[in-house]
Structures are given as C-alpha cells and as structure tokens.
Chain A
Amino acid sequence: MIAYATNLATLIAINAILAITLNFIMGYAGIFSLAHALFFGVGAYTAAWIAMHVTGDFFLTVSAAALVASLLSLALALPALRVREVYFVAASLGLQVLGTTVFAEWKSVTGGIGGVIGIPPAELFGVPISDPYAFLALALACLSLVIAVTYALVRSSFGRSLTAIRDSESAAAAYGKNVALIKTLAVVVSSALCALGGALYAFYLSFINVESFGLDTSILLMAMVIIGGTGTVLGPIIGTVLLLLLPAGLSYLSFLPHTEIGSIQQMIYGLAMVVLMIFRPGGLVGARSLGERK
C-alpha cells in the first residue's frame, strides 16, 4: 500500500515538473506549445543513453539531458519568435509529430518502438538510488528546485518582461525590451528543466519508449496546466495531482466498466476543459480571467 502510494507520488512529482515548466511558457509567456512531451523525451533518452554507456551519475546525466534539450528547444524558439497563436500552435504540433517519428525511427539511440530496457539506477555521489523511498526523495528535491527556480524567475524582472511580452508584444518592444532574447531564454529554461523531469522518469521506470513522449502526453500536460490554473505557481501542481489521481480513483468505482476507464478519464478532463473555459478560464486555482495577475 505504502509502496503504491510512493509510486504514485513519484509519478506526480515528475509530472508536476513537466506541468510547471509548461506553465512557465504557456501561462507567463503566452507561448502555447504542444511540443512539451518532446523535451521530456529528449531528456529521458539522453539520460538513458549516458547512464547506459558512460556513467549513471545523476548530476552528469541531468546536465547532459538539459543541455541537449536546450539546444533542441531552439527549434521551437524559432517559430515562437516569428509568429503567434494559431501559427505557433501549428508549428509546435508539427515539431511534436516530427519528433515522435524520429524517436520511433532512430533505433540505435532510442530503441525505436521497442524502447530502451534496463536503464541502470541513478547514482548520487557514487551511491545507486534504487530504493523507492530514496528515489521519491530525489524526485521531490528536484521538484522543489524547479518550483524555486520558476518562482524566482517569475518574480524577477525577467518574469515581468515575459508577462509584458505576453500581454502586448509591440508595447514591450517599444519599451526597449529585447523580445527575441527574452522569449528564447524562456523556451530554453522551460525545456532544460523539463528534461530534468525526463531524466528522473528514465531512471525511475528503467524503461522508456516512444509511447510516453507523443502528442497524447503533450495534450495531457496542457490539460494539467489549464485545469489547474495557468499563470500561477500552485495551479500546475494541482492540475497534475488531479489528473494523475483520476484514473486510479476511477478504477475503484466498481460500477464503471473496466474496459472503458481510459475513455471515461479522458472524457472527464475534456469536459473539464470545456466547462472551465466557459466559466473559469484561469483554471481551478487561477484568476477569474486570463489577464488578471495573481
């Protein structure tokens, strides 16, 4: 029982990292990316590769993962600089689909559809972290780090510039803000921290494959951020907890047919998205309407 709760808690912590980093660009910078699962995947595959071929040292693998994800995120930053809204969403969609195909095809690194099996446990100062409780502690430590960094950035002048750009790009430019640099930095930071989540995931499951890094995951992450509340620190965490507990919770309602649990779960969060957008677009924790500061 405790072991199951630990398992769930670890998954929540990892997904919360993903949701918070997505919220950073969606809620604060107004960059609606559907490609977030890609950076999750890049982080996971990089960490896995390094752990299996070089060393399992946690700091090293995570740094490598973050580095690769940052470089790749420049591909996302490029359209982010040129276009907004529909166009950007479409571009991120294109990138996500392309990325999924690469993950499935590049067998030598990603194992293709079969995935990467037998990833060794992470090592912290030479000690392998294979105990589930120790790993949960590590995951929570990383989550705290991500929250701290995001909070600090949001409260800083960088964060203020971000929201200024989100609200009115031309005004921000008129004020002398280097829009391109700020947007690019936001995307890079978001992707690098997202890769941290990916590395944790790879170490935790000892197995990763392309299923976890596709469009469905990007959509789930987006749902977590929206339902929880964009533009707030608590919002993505609440969204993550709710959406991850939902399938587990549903499976205990015995009157629901077992085979339809997956569909029902999706219908619930689809419906939640619609209803929230009509009545409370800021999400559960967020502001009444999107523009309000919190």
Chain B
Amino acid sequence: MLFLQLLVNGIQVGALYALTAVGFSLIFGSTRIFHVAHGATFTLAGYVFYELYSVAGAPWIAALAAATAGAGIFGVLVDRFVYAPIQRHEGSFFTVFVASFGITIVVQNLVGTAFGRGFVSISSPLSRSVELAPGLYAPPTAAISVLAAVVCFVGLHFFLTRTHVGMALRALSENPDLVRVFGLDPRRLSSYAFALGSLLVVPGALLTGATAGLSPALGNHVMLISLAATIVGGVGSLRGAACGGLLLGLAENLALWQLDPQWSEAVTFVVLFLFIVFRPAGFFGRVATQ
C-alpha cells in the first residue's frame, strides 16, 4: 500500500513538474535561450495568487487571471528588456544564462523581502486528503493537477499544430534562419514563446501553493526539475519534457519507498547526470552536442 500511495503522490507531483518543464522546453526549444528565470516566473505566479486570494480575499477566478497575466507578462518583459538587448550585440549562451540567473536572484529576494522567507500556504479544503482505500490517501488537488496537465497539453497541442503562430514556433525551433527567410519576425515569435511558456507555470504554482506551500526559494527547485526533465526528455521535444517531468516526479516519490528523503532529490540528479554523460539526447531529442 505504501508503494501505491507513493505512486499516487508521484503522479500528482509529476503532472505539475511536467507542465513547468514543458513551459521551459518550449522557450528553450524555440529561442535557444536558457531561461533560468522560468523558476522566478513560477514564484511570481504563486505569490500573486496568494496575495490576491489568501491575503486580499479576492475571488479565485480573479486571482487566477491575475497570476496568469502576471506570469505571461513577466516572461515577455524579461525577453524584451533583458534578452533582446543582449542578443542584439553579442548573445552568447553564457551571457544570456548569467543575466537570467541575475533576474532569478533579484526576484527571489524581492519576494522574500515582501512576503518573508518562510513558507506561506494557500489554504484550501481541496488539499485535504480523502481516504480512497485503507492506507491510500489522495487529495482533490491530485485530480486537479492531472486534469490541469491534460487540459493544458491538449490545448498546447492544438495551438502548435493548428494555429499560424504555433506552427511558426515549431519552425523556429527547427530552423531559425529559415523562419526569417519566410518573412516571419523571430523577435515577435520569441515573445509568443515566452508568453506561452510562462503561462504554463500557473497551474503548478497554484497547486504547489495549496499543497506544499510557497517560499521564495521554491523557484530554484522547480527550475532544476524543469531543466532536468527537459534534458532527460530530450531538448526540442515537448513530449519528452512532459514525460521527463512525470518520470522525475515519480522517481522523487518512489525513492522514498526505500531511501531516506535526503536522497530523493539526489536521485533526480543522479538520473540527470547519467543521461548527460551517456545519452545527452534524452529520450526523444535529437543528438545535440553542437
């Protein structure tokens, strides 16, 4: 029964990891920008919702809309005002990475100053578990997480295959120069990628806030997982990132079956390290050692 319980926990966590990872992968795949600040987007979305819903008492729909808008706008702003100027004159991987890192640090500390460095929780009856079977507990948030993930992925798939912008984004990830030849503006497409990728953090941020609580340092952890999932799943493959996220969520929880909790985080990174050394292309990616 413990195993089954851990499996359920793993799926709940994995669904949220998958969402955030796909967001990161979408951005990285389309723009080749190592957007470490994706973790900061996650933190911001969570705290915006917390502030509006738990502190100011606004209706959850309004708070959700604000968090979503906030996440998207933040992503686009970072792209426009930080990455774009850098790419204009130099744009090496390293420079962009460092700038993104700087943003994460600034956001983390701003949030810490405003809300305190401890945990805040979004109280909701939805986080209370229901005993499905003796020894097997699952909260409604587990079902919501999986549902949200499925809905978002279906929506994303539709967007990428049926709309012009979506197809242009896919083209961008495969061949940026060709996109320019066809008269599309990579800069504008990049903004779309950032907006879309950033939106995907919102379900994860909210649900994590309701179950485990938010803290300024949470973004870091989420970022690491998204990065690991993207690589394990294969850079350039959204399906891979989603599977990677789910896999890592499962691994993190199933590891608890036998190991002490301190090792469950380490397990994630052992998996990542092994993939990078032996199969950098991940599950679904194209070989990319450049």
Q: Do chains A and B touch in the complex (CB under 8 A)?
A: yes
Q: Report which A residues bind B (CB closer than 8 A).
A: 30, 32, 78-79, 82-91, 93-95, 97-98, 101-102, 104-105, 215, 219, 222, 226, 260, 263-264, 266-267, 269-274, 277-278, 281, 289-290
Given contacts A87-B280, A226-B98, A273-B98, contact A266 B109 (CB under 8 A): yes
Per-residue CB proximity of B233-277 to A under 8 Å, as 1/0?
001000000000000000000000000101101100110110011
B262–A91 touching, CB < 8 Å? no
| B164 part of interface (Cβ distance < 8 Å) | no
Complex alpha-carbon distance, A281 and B260, angstroms: 43
Chain B residues with CB below 8 A from A264, complex form: 109, 113
Chain B residues with CB below 8 A from A278, complex form: 82, 85-86, 99
Given contacts A104-B262, A260-B113, A263-B112, contact A82 B93 (CB under 8 A): no
A85–B93 touching, CB < 8 Å? yes
B231–A289 touching, CB < 8 Å? no
Q: How many A-B contacts are there with CB distance less than 8 Å?
A: 134
CB distance from B243 to the nearest CB of A (A): 17
B280–A95 touching, CB < 8 Å? no
* Residue of A84, A105, A267 touching B262 (CB-CB under 8 A): A105
Given contacts A90-B276, A97-B269, A104-B262, contact A84 B290 (CB under 8 A): yes
* Residue of B34, B85, B97, B102 touching A271 (CB-CB under 8 A): B102
B106–A267 touching, CB < 8 Å? yes
Complex alpha-carbon distance, A184 and B272, angstroms: 21
A289–B280 touching, CB < 8 Å? no
* Residue of B90, B113, B260, B270 touching A289 (CB-CB under 8 A): B90
B103–A93 touching, CB < 8 Å? no
| B104 part of interface (Cβ distance < 8 Å) | yes
Per-residue CB proximity of B71-105 to A under 8 Å, as 1/0?
00000000000100110011011111111011111
B99–A97 touching, CB < 8 Å? no
Residue of A nearest to B263 (CB): A101
CB distance from A256 to the nearest CB of B (A): 11
CB distance from A230 to the nearest CB of B (A): 8
Chain A residues with CB below 8 A from B146, complex form: none
Residue of B nearest to A263 (CB): B109
CB distance from A88 to the nearest CB of B (A): 8
Chain B residues with CB below 8 A from A270, complex form: 101-106, 109
Given contacts A32-B94, A263-B113, contact A101 B266 (CB under 8 A): yes
Complex alpha-carbon distance, A23 and B90, angstroms: 20
Complex alpha-carbon distance, A288 and B273, angstroms: 34
| B224 part of interface (Cβ distance < 8 Å) | yes
Complex alpha-carbon distance, A14 and B127, angstroms: 48
* Residue of A32, A102, A269 touching B105 (CB-CB under 8 A): A269
CB distance from B237 to the nearest CB of A (A): 14
A91–B102 touching, CB < 8 Å? no
